[in-house]
Structure 1
């Protein structure tokens, strides 16, 4: 297994990209809630020396510049079955749309699982790429985000449809 990571500077601040063999396995903010120990990240490499990490950094840059709405990267998510089910639902949330923890729980068949859904969302190892920022609380209220609520709001603003943005200005 070839674990490695690179640190890239973005308009959201420093991000750590982690890969194992041919798949991206992590994208972490500096004070990320659930972050692997440094030893699990593998060797630190220069981003431009690793094809996968370089591609991930490029796609992130394009996304943050408003030039990309989806990611085309091989990812490998490590978690239990429930977490993987939640993360698969996150991946289905379209660009520019949001959902709630309760709605995700309902899609899993039990609305009472909203808190467990929230915990699984908080353990998403590839923030932004698997778009956990698109999950909000009841009535659209911003709730926790591993990268902080300011970053979550910035990502949601980036994805806000032009028509909605125009309505807010008038």
Structure 2
């Protein structure tokens, strides 16, 4: 499988977008660009990976618009690889509209696995296409913000860009 990638700068840091022929396979948001390509290569060690800024410019622009809070009419094509459970969770996340949040429990109940809140949180943490599959819209049941790849400030900023600003302080 051939993976093409590009990077760009957003108000929240460096964004790496990678895609296969089928669609976006990785969206990574980091405070700095260091390590983004290394991380991509580590995640796909057997794949051919090449930088292709021109081919992915429109995809990167779409992701940057989403980070800026713009609602997108259609989700871009995705090439998600995960367990059946992860894919089920990620599909539920796609149904959360911008400006809204759901709890991990809400997602667990929606997939008819109400005792799987911890597994839902782990699936959110394993989401390879942050921002596109909006794991940032999932918060704790008490209303506190919860985690986001070790960057809760980024999660808060993504939600604020969508008009969500109230969180419990838990």
TM-score interval (norm. to shorter):
0.7 to 0.9
Equivalent of 2:77, from 74, 89, 93? 74
> How far 1:107 sits from its partner (Å)?
1.2
Taking only aligned residues, the RMSD between alpha carbons, in angstroms, comes to 2.4
Indicate conservation of the 8 Å contact 1:100/1:138, yes or no: yes
Separation of aligned partners in 2, 1:104 and 1:111 = 8
With structure 1 as the length reference, what TM-score do the two structures score? 0.82
**In terms of mean alpha carbon deviation, does 61-70 or 146-155 score higher?**
61-70
Separation of aligned partners in 1, 2:74 and 2:8 = 17
Distance 1:143 1:65, change over 3 A: closer
Indicate conservation of the 8 Å contact 1:5/1:16, yes or no: yes
What pairs up with 1:3-152 in 2 under 5 angstroms? 3-30=3-30, 36-38=40-42, 40=44, 42-47=48-53, 49-50=54-55, 53-146=56-149, 148-152=151-155
Gapped runs of 5+ residues in structure 2?
A: none
Distance 1:142 1:70, change over 3 A: farther
Deviations 1:12-47 (A, max 9, x none): 111111111241100012379xx5444727434242
Separation of aligned partners in 2, 1:155 and 1:16 = 16
Task: Name the SS for the 1:146 alignment partner.
Answer: coil
Partner of 1:168: none
> How far 1:64 sits from its partner (Å)?
3.3
Which has the larger helix fraction?
Answer: 1
Task: Name the SS for the 2:142 alignment partner.
Answer: helix
> How far 1:80 sits from its partner (Å)?
0.6
Separation of aligned partners in 2, 1:141 and 1:21 = 38
Separation of aligned partners in 1, 2:102 and 2:12 = 22
**In terms of mean alpha carbon deviation, does 67-76 or 94-103 score higher?**
67-76
With structure 2 as the length reference, what TM-score do the two structures score? 0.82
